[in-house]
Structure 1
Amino acid sequence: MAKTAETVWINCLKIIKDIVEWQHFKTWFEPIKPVELKESVLMIQVPSQFFFEYLEEHYVNLLAKTLKRELGKEARLEYRIMVDSGNNGRNGSMDIPASTARTYTNNEMDFPLVINNPVKNPFVIPGLKKMQIDPQLNPIYTFDAFIEGDCNRVARRAGKTVAEKPGANSFNPLVIYGGVGLGKTHLAQSIGNEVKRLHPNKVVLYVSSEKFINQFQDHSRNNAINDFIHFYQLIDVLMIDDVQFFARAEKSQDAFFAIFNHLHQSGKQLILTSDKAPKDLDGMQERLLSRFRWGLSADLQLPDYDTRIEILEKKMKNDGLDMPKEVVKYVAYNISTNVRELEGALISLLAQSSLNKREIDLELAKKVLRNFVKTSSKEITIEAIQKMVCEYFDVSYDKLLQKTRKREIVQARQITMYLAKAFTKNSLKTIGEHFGGRDHTTVIHSCQTVKDLMDTDSLFRENVMELTQKVQLAAM
């Protein structure tokens, strides 16, 4: 049966769906439509220029691999971008010329050590010169792009020290550890990029532990372990990402032990990242763990609210984006797990805005964040909301219940009732009883008053939004 654009793309999606996170799959792959298949060239239609650029930047390797599985090594991908045709209000399309379409080659080879001359086996190169080694660094990872906060201050400042004096500092090795998406890779590569800027003659290399293990196994099968070890001994600043994966590779640990000793004794710099502190790494040789403890172990923690705000604002500034302040606050309040999730939420907002051709507002943010924020497993109480509001407005609990006409007390009580109705399962009568025995009509009036004031008073609306987000955080 002859292949069609639809069948090829459906088969590609089956593979991609198992690799990409569900939300990212929904955002970036479901809107794509297959258009045409000519021999080994598949044309796909994407909704906007923004989509095209994002796919090229973030998913080009994945698209290449899946397409090659379907169409062979000569597979190529071309794009058709939907464009707004202007006055007639209809959508048109624009094909990217074949000359600018991306042609995929073998992206599965080992990293190229000789610039502009990729080789299958990079380690056995006669007369290999040190300066020919590609550092494998992403230039977007810099210290300027890494927001400093209480959650990462020690690690970031230690990284700066290492970059300024690689190998000639007391942080050797520098072990950066923390959970997923907190910036370990970013910080490690920031050090590498800064070293290249300050010390252009230094030989820098970033490699994941998985890549290291795979390369070691390849060279072991070819009886070329000495070549492998010798190559790594050429490096001045070596960064190994996710060293916890060495736990399942005993022989790779032996090779790394030899490399570590040589580099350390030669005054070279080692930077390691891990999801756990060295003392908590299981399956690692004790002699390696003891060496990890020679330098500094610095952890990355969950970013606090203010740091999350800074991260979002920095990301927006770098990308030339603008969002209402209330939306930025809403995202920062509700995404507290890690930086990757935070940036993912921002990207999804932009994607939805582009797809739906609408401005980013609080309503759109709430819709998008439903896919990021887990359903609450805790039930918030009226008492907890009362306490939050009292602390926020610096009002005593007793005053909140008193019969008074003071504006600040009345508004605090009305906001509390409004939040109690929104976030608890209590009846209007029960809510009223928690405010000095008031009846349900008072609660209804209070809720309507809050809604009306939010439409007319920007400061009042901001106060309600901040309290809403505080309640949401407490319920997570």
Structure 2
Amino acid sequence: MDQHQTHRSHAARRERRVITRTESVEQRILARLSEIVGPNNYKVWFHNSTHMIVADGFLKVGVPNVFVGSWIENHYAEAISTAAREVLGKDVHVNYAIEPSLFGQLRKTQLNSQAESVQKAGLRGRELRTGYAPVAGPPRPRLRGRLDDFVVGPGSALAHTIARRVVEQPGEVYNPVFLHGGVGIGKTHLLQGIANALDGAARGLRWRYTSGEAFTNEFLIALKHGTLEQFRATYRELDALLIDDVHFLANKRATQDEFLHTFNTIFSIGRQIVLASDAHPHMIGQLSESLCSRFVSGVVVRIDAPDLATRCEILRRRARTMGRSIPDDVIQYVAEKIRTNVRELEGALLKLVAAADVTGSPIGMAIARQALDDHLDRTGPILTVNDIENAVATFFGLTPADLHSSRKSRTIALARNIAMYLARTHTPMSFPEIARVMGNKNHTTVLLAHRKIAGMLAADGPAAWVSAAGPKSAPVRSIVTQIEEQIRS
């Protein structure tokens, strides 16, 4: 063998060694990545979902779609870089690329897993074979909300637009969607409207509308009766999951862990998730950081109470559905007096109509004043310092006794200051009176607390505290608004 042939032979062997080593390098990177992110996260986001290639100093990460790619890059980029650096002994540049073949592989794996789960749970396998059959589980409730019936105002326009886009392109544009706002302002209406629109779209989509409480109860029943596989198959094969009052999951660690895996499974294949709560994710006490980060990873939209013009239109539409003709001056009168939420507004209208029916009188200003006497000039109940202390303590996971104590931890100090600010703002009590009620003999403390919170509100400053679920941070304005809504509800 001549020298040239020998050189080529050595080069070929070196090339084969490089190829073998490259293959093992990728396996070792994935193995190390599994150790870093944990087996559960690895199974959801990487196993059968990604493809890695090391070449020319780059690590290419192939992903099935833009959703998985964005999630991995946003949440696991550091873990991938760390795993690659530890295996290769140097930093490498990581590229992410969509590989359509992975989507089919991921979907096939998921369907096989679902079929096995259904068979174990004793469900009929044919419900999964078409991919479009109704989801197994309790009968769907009758949902009243329709997107076409929703009265759009300045405080709800963005949420309504996003709801429309969700129906048009589920899982493609806005995902996940998190709606939040006070009680009775339209969150449930929008969620039900999305569900009804998906159901009427003739696309065979598998969707489920439920509440955080119902999800929790179903999970506990499944645990008790050993039917977790059936429970998981019910939720994890969905094209769209809509959960109202998701804040109910707070302070329920096992339920939160279960929902986290459900969320990851649905989201990883680009299926739609829409959630609603009375509070922003960061403001939900004792919500795990893992769930909170998922909830804020998409679009978070606040729905505000309707303004006067919107309240008038709500009343007009509601009156038309009842077959009633109500004068504009009565509509204006009711809308001006009922400013809390849509539910109370509709309740006042029903009371007005009932009063007219009972007396046989036409609906006019006289009967409106008489029927709605207990609503007049109502902007909320008469508040006491005790009401405010209870609401503040509940928000921060404390007790009213903590606010009266001499303890000065960051959380208690912040809660105490906000309670004093709200007491001065929402009650007629003076600084000395508030100080006495809150167990502080020095009214200067209340004065300084009021000035501090007022200053933070003016500067739109943030506040940090520690909850049972870990450190939290949010704008003071959001905290105060959330507590005020709780007090009024």
Residue 341 of structure 2 is matched in structure 1 by 338
Cα 1:377–1:245 shift into 2, 3 Å: closer
Q: Work out the CA distance in 2 between the residues paired with 1:377 and 1:208.
A: 27
The CA distance in 1 between the partners of 2:242 and 2:291, in whole Å, is: 16
Residue correspondence of structure 1 range 189-208 to structure 2 within 5 A: 189-208=192-211
Equivalent residues, number: 256
* Greater helix proportion: 2
1:75-94 superposed matches below 5 A: none
Aligned residue for 2:156?
Answer: 152
Tell me the CA shift for residue 227 of structure 1.
2.1
CA contact (8 A) 1:137 1:189 kept: no
The corresponding residue for 2:289 is: 286
- 1:427-446 to structure 2, matched below 5 A, reads none
Q: Which residue of 2 aligns with 1:449?
A: none
Q: Work out the percentage of aligned pairs sharing the same amino acid.
A: 34
- Residues 220 and 311 of structure 1, relative CA distance in 2, 3 Å threshold: same
Q: Which among 175, 179, 190 is matched to residue 176 of structure 1?
A: 179
Counterpart in the other structure of 2:123: 125
The answer to whether the 8 Å contact 1:216/1:252 transfers is yes
CA deviation digits over 1:42-95, x for unaligned, max 9? xxxxxxxxxxxxxxxxxxxxxxxxxxxxxxxxxxxxxxxxxxxxxxxxxxxxxx
Provide the secondary structure at the position in 2 that maps to 1:253: helix
In structure 2, C-alpha distance between the alignment counterparts of 1:377 and 1:224, rounded to whole Å: 46
Q: Determine if contact 2:144/2:192 at 8 Å carries over to the other structure.
A: no
Write the letter of the residue equivalent to 1:147.
V
1:371 aligns with 2:351: no
CA distance in 1 between counterparts of 2:246 and 2:171 reads 20
| Residue 244 of structure 1, CA deviation | 0.7
Whole-angstrom CA distance in 2 between matches of 1:173 and 1:220? 27
User: Post-superposition, which runs of at least 4 consecutive aligned residues in structure 1 deviate over 4 A?
Assistant: 374-378
Matches for 1:446-457 after TM superposition, within 5 Å = none
Equivalent pair of 1:135/1:204 in contact (CA under 8 Å) = no
Matches within 5 A, 1:244-323: 244-323=247-326
Deviation per CA, 1:417-476, whole angstroms, max 9, x where unpaired? xxxxxxxxxxxxxxxxxxxxxxxxxxxxxxxxxxxxxxxxxxxxxxxxxxxxxxxxxxx9
Distance 1:277 1:135, change over 3 A: farther
Q: Distance in 2 between matches of 1:150 and 1:132?
A: 37
The one-letter code matched in structure 2 to 1:132 is P
Q: What is the letter of the counterpart of residue 124 of structure 2?
A: P
Measure the CA separation in 2 of the matches of 1:261 and 1:309.
Answer: 42
Q: Aligned in 2, Cα 1:132/1:162: closer, same or farther, shift over 3 Å?
A: closer
Give a deviation string over 1:15-59, Cα, whole Å, max 9, x none: xxxxxxxxxxxxxxxxxxxxxxxxxxxxxxxxxxxxxxxxxxxxx
Checking the alignment, whether the CA contact within 8 Å between 1:162 and 1:191 is kept in structure 2 is yes
- Give the Å deviation of 1:135: 7.5
Q: Distance in 1 between matches of 2:139 and 2:199?
A: 9
Partner of 2:188: 185
Distance change (3 Å), C-alpha of 1:128 and 1:255: farther
The answer to whether the 8 A contact 1:349-1:365 is kept is yes
Deviation per residue, 1:82-117 (Å, 9 max, x gap): xxxxxxxxxxxxxxxxxxxxxxxxxxxxxxxxxxxx
Q: What are the residue-to-residue correspondences of 1:456-467 with 2, within 5 Å?
A: none
**What SS does the aligned partner of 1:132 have?**
coil
Contact 1:138–1:189 (8 Å) recurs in 2: no
**8 A Cα contact 2:146 2:193, kept in partner:** yes
Aligned mate of 1:141, from 133, 142, 145? 145
Alpha-carbon spacing, 1:376–1:299, altered in 2? closer, same or farther (3 Å):
closer
C-alpha displacement of 1:264:
0.3
Evaluate the alpha carbon distance shift between residue 377 and residue 312 of structure 1 in structure 2; reply closer, same or farther with a 3 A threshold.
Answer: closer
- Report the Cα distance in structure 2 between the residues aligned to 1:294 and 1:375, rounded to whole angstroms: 38
8 Å CA contact retained: 2:339, 2:379? no
Distance 1:243 1:377, change over 3 A: closer
Question: What is the CA-CA distance between 1:373 and the residue it aligns to?
Answer: 3.7
Which deviates more, 194-203 or 297-306?
194-203
Determine if contact 1:182/1:300 at 8 Å carries over to the other structure.
yes
Q: Could you say which residue in structure 1 is the equivalent of 2:167?
A: 163
Shift of 1:375: 5.7
Unaligned 5+ residue runs, structure 2? Answer: 1-120, 382-487
Residue in 1 aligned with 2:212?
209
Other-structure match for 1:11: none
Contact 1:135 1:205 in 2 (8 A): no
For the Cα contact (< 8 Å) 1:173–1:269, is it kept in 2? yes
Matched letter for residue 309 of structure 2: D
CA RMSD, Structure 1 to Structure 2 (Å): 2.2
Preserved CA contact (<8 Å) 1:173 1:270: yes
| Equivalent in the alignment of 1:237 | 240
Gaps of at least 5 residues in structure 1 are 1-122, 379-475
Q: Are 2:241 and 2:274, in contact at CA under 8 Å, matched by a contact in 1?
A: yes
Whole-angstrom distance in 2 between the partners of 1:192 and 1:135 = 14
Query: Residues 283-328 of structure 1: CA distance to partner in whole angstroms, max 9, x if unpaired?
Result: 1110111010111011110100000111111111222210111111
Separation in 1 of the partners of 2:237 and 2:380?
Answer: 53
CA distance, structure 1, for counterparts of residue 363 and residue 345 of structure 2: 16
1:306 partner amino acid: A
Read off the aligned partner of 1:347 and give its amino acid letter. L
| One-letter amino acid matched to 2:170 | P
Q: For residue 248 of structure 1, give the secondary structure of its aligned residue in structure 2.
A: coil
Aligned residue runs from structure 1 range 216-231, under 5 A: 216-231=219-234
Are 1:137 and 1:193, in contact at CA under 8 Å, matched by a contact in 2? no
Counterpart residue number, 1:357: 360
Quote the offset at 1:155 in angstroms.
0.6
